[in-house]
């Protein structure tokens, strides 16, 4: 029997659009825990990471807004993630913005003792650094931080948690279609993560892409699946802060998660559900459908 620990990360400090901090509540309102239990999953609700709101914290520097509070909250998320994993549960973190992955991945890297693998399902690369960002939004740096691209910047040093959580050779990005110029330049370098753009998915089909992704991540100390709902087309997931047309459709997303379920991911993030921008909690409902696909649900 699968065992899951659900952790909420109600943060909107990583981006510009308000409301994504309500994502964990929106996801829980879909009866996420109950639906997983009906699939035979043993679910434990572990509560929320404490996140201070904008009015309570310093806005930080222009190259990394609210970084101090984001990293403090991510370290708390790392501790909850590591505790869940070492107790035999798969941590499932509900965002909030994508900066939560900094915490979940730090926790997994410490718990397993080595950098691991990730399947990053996202319209964006999240590979900016404070030196390359045009916005200063930390949710656009989450994968870069996990890959150790910010090592050398003392703001990212940690006495308690690894500053590099992922092996770039075992990291893949799926559904990318909105990459910044510095991200594209980095991805062309030797040893960078493998990117499966929407253009490639259109040519090859999602099944072929998912199977190759699993080959790339095989054998890592842990496998983390990080799903940003803006990976889907806005028609299927309207409640996101940075929608990009031309994303995965509903059936493609389910097929992808069904295939990834065969690898038994060690940890999961599901992020960027913004109920303020949603239509009748449609995006949260879709997100829960996809989580269930990752834990064994199938339309057939």
Parent domain of 270: 3-294
Give the HSE-up count for residue 261: Cα atoms under 13 Å, Cβ half-sphere: 16
Would you please indicate which residues are annotated as catalytic (active-site) residues?
98, 122, 124, 126, 139, 228, 230, 272
Residue 248, strand partner residues: 232
User: What's the CA gap between 204 and 237, in Å, rounded?
Assistant: 23
Phi and psi for 226 in degrees, rounded to 5? Answer: -120, 110
Let me know if residue 166 belongs to a domain. yes
Let me know if residue 300 belongs to a domain. no
For residue 54, say if its preceding peptide bond is cis, omega within 30 degrees of 0. Answer: no
Residue 25, pLDDT > 90, answer yes
Let me know if residue 51 belongs to a domain. yes
Give the HSE-up count for residue 157: Cα atoms under 13 Å, Cβ half-sphere: 5
Q: Which of 171, 172, 178, 173 is nearest to 241 (CA)?
A: 178
Average pLDDT (209-224) is 98
Q: What is the pTM of this model?
A: 0.97
Q: Return the ∠ at Cα 39 (arms to 248 and 228), rounded to 5°.
A: 25
Instruction: Please tell me whether residue 131 adopts helix, strand or coil conformation.
Output: coil
Average pLDDT (23-42) is 98
Average pLDDT taken over every residue of the chain? 97
User: What's the CA gap between 17 and 156, in Å, rounded?
Assistant: 24
Let me know if residue 21 belongs to a domain. yes
Residue 14, pLDDT > 70, answer yes
Residue 66, pLDDT > 80, answer yes
User: What's the CA gap between 180 and 133, in Å, rounded?
Assistant: 9
Average pLDDT (250-268) is 98
Residue 299, pLDDT > 90, answer no
User: What's the CA gap between 99 and 248, in Å, rounded?
Assistant: 22
pLDDT tens digits, one per residue of 276-293: 999 999 999 999 999 999
Percentage of the residues of the chain whose pLDDT score is greater than 90 = 97
Tell me, what's the pLDDT at 55?
87
Residue 300, pLDDT > 70, answer no
Domain of residue 275, CATH code: 3.40.800.10
- Residue 96 DSSP code: S
Phi and psi for 275 in degrees, rounded to 5? Answer: -65, -20
Let me know if residue 31 belongs to a domain. yes
Tokens of 106: 């730090």
- Domain count of the fold of the chain: 1
Let me know if residue 243 belongs to a domain. yes
pLDDT tens digits, one per residue of 182-203: 999 999 999 999 999 999 999 9
Let me know if residue 299 belongs to a domain. no
Let me know if residue 131 belongs to a domain. yes
pLDDT tens digits, one per residue of 84-139: 999 999 999 999 999 999 999 999 999 999 999 999 999 999 999 999 999 999 99
Residue 298, pLDDT > 90, answer no
């Amino acid at each position: 029997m699968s065992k899951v620990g659900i952790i909420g990360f109600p943060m909107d400090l990583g981006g510009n659009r308000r409301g994504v901090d309500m994502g964990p509540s929106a996801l829980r309102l879909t009866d996420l825990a109950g639906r997983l239990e009906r699939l035979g999953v043993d679910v434990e609700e572990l509560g929320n990471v404490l996140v201070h709101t904008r009015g309570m914290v310093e806005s930080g520097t222009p190259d990394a807004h609210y970084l101090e509070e984001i990293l403090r909250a991510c370290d708390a998320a790392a501790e909850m993630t590591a505790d869940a994993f070492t107790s035999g549960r798969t941590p499932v973190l509900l965002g909030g913005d994508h900066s939560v992955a900094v915490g979940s991945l730090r926790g997994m890297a410490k718990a397993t003792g080595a950098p691991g693998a990730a399947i990053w399902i996202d319209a964006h690369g999240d590979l900016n650094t404070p030196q390359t960002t045009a916005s200063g939004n930390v949710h656009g740096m989450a994968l870069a931080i996990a890959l150790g691209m910010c090592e050398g910047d003392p703001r990212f040093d940690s006495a308690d948690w690894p500053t590099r959580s992922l092996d770039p050779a075992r990291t893949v990005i799926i559904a990318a279609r909105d990459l910044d110029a510095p991200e594209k330049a980095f991805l062309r370098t030797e040893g960078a993560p493998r990117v499966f753009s929407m253009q490639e998915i259109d040519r090859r089909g999602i099944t072929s892409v998912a199977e190759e992704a699993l080959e790339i991540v095989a054998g890592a100390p842990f496998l983390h699946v990080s799903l940003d709902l803006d990976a889907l087309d806005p028609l299927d997931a309207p409640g996101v802060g940075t929608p990009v047309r031309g994303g995965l459709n509903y059936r493609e997303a389910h097929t992808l998660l069904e295939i990834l379920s065969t690898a038994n991911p060690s940890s999961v993030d599901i992020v960027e559900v913004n109920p303020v921008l949603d239509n009748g909690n449609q995006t949260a409902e879709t997100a829960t459908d996809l989580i269930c696909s990752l834990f064994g649900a199938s339309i057939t």
